[in-house]
Structure 1
């Protein structure tokens, strides 16, 4: 096994993790502050990806495509928060699950009607094509390395906003005691709409960034949504720090598991059997990680911290 290949796979895991963080950060904010189970979060990821692909095809600009993903996802988030979600805050979680699952179906069919059933492709810009040489002669994708940097910058900006700004103070206060900040004159409805728009924009942004690696297609958000739920359970509901650490752990566990386990089983099995068993166990590894964390920390790594 080449150590250079191992480092490359570790970087792939980190890239996957920071993209998961963009999904999980919005999801944990929405659930932590608003107490809402939002199954439609993956649909907002899809909306961002399709908006980016459409704008990139029309203008040829990757930057405009990213801006479009933020605007389209945030607008869709505001729309569904005002029209649907606002009526669910005081309802049972089962009602929230049913309503947001219905939104998944509406977004999927609406996207299929608008863009068709065939996948779209978002080309990465020329200046991010190719590879860059890292220390020790490691060749790594410029685009994937840029995703790591962008994800970490967004994480830093989100931490700054939550901890250092007035809106961040209101978000943290709303998480702890929403009735009290309402009594102090904060417009709770507006705060909830802003939080939902922020979470939606982060999800759409993640969809656009990943859209240049894989195809943009209907239903692409649901597998990522499942992983985002795993991330917030591991990190702790409502914790941005937990979402970042949980996302990196999930990204590294999934990527390195798929790389290492087939090779380990290859020592005692035929190559085809080792690949099959190793890939199956790698798919289970993140759930084993989640179970292990919950055995030690039932509220997640930073739950209630």
Structure 2
């Protein structure tokens, strides 16, 4: 049993949950306009996903642009609370699991206290979004960030700076990356914080550490009480290592299936979003069920 999803926008609909603006234009009127557009498109995407067999969706980090910034101009939680509750109820009714994934600028293990402060603010914002949506299965995915030439020190700061963040930890799941932190080291931080681990198959291929993909999945799955979540993409052949291709290659899909120890939710991180699988290659296309046909389509 595999459920599929994709991040931030839907190319078929021309819809996105990630509209933003420049900091210099950060006025209440402009922000409210972007938020209204993002939430409108979120509703459209949720409906599309339910109709086309997708069960996961990652919200754009700019759902509320600059929400964690000190200059944010209004009480976004109070202003959008009712709309968030309505959309969260819709997501639940349509069987949609929601997540967020702050970018590399969020680094709680930084040596710079200002970076840590900004990182925690962004994580608190992300957790508040999931809480306001009442996303019981919500996941807040985060990389470990920089190592600064001292992995034990960076890991220690990361864990220490997150220990007291109850709402963040409720949703948090840590992810391996393609350069610095393999799954085995991510597991150390996750165990110290009591949170889950998301295995990214492409990152693991580039930075496997001492674990096979099957071993990485097995260890990561033991950190989950609900359905484990994993990431899948293929390498873009003309870009830097770790850059995502437009579609998922057949061999990467089959490698994932062979390594998974049980049911999972798979976030497709291909640039093609809901079109990440190519119908010409026998994979899922729009209109096919992610759960019912996900395994069979790979033959």
- Assess same fold via TM > 0.5: no
Higher strand share: 2
Larger RCO: Structure 1 or Structure 2 (Cα < 8 Å, ≥ 6 residues apart)?
Answer: 1
Q: Which has the larger radius of gyration?
A: 1
TM-score, structure 2 length as denominator? 0.29
Higher helix share: 1
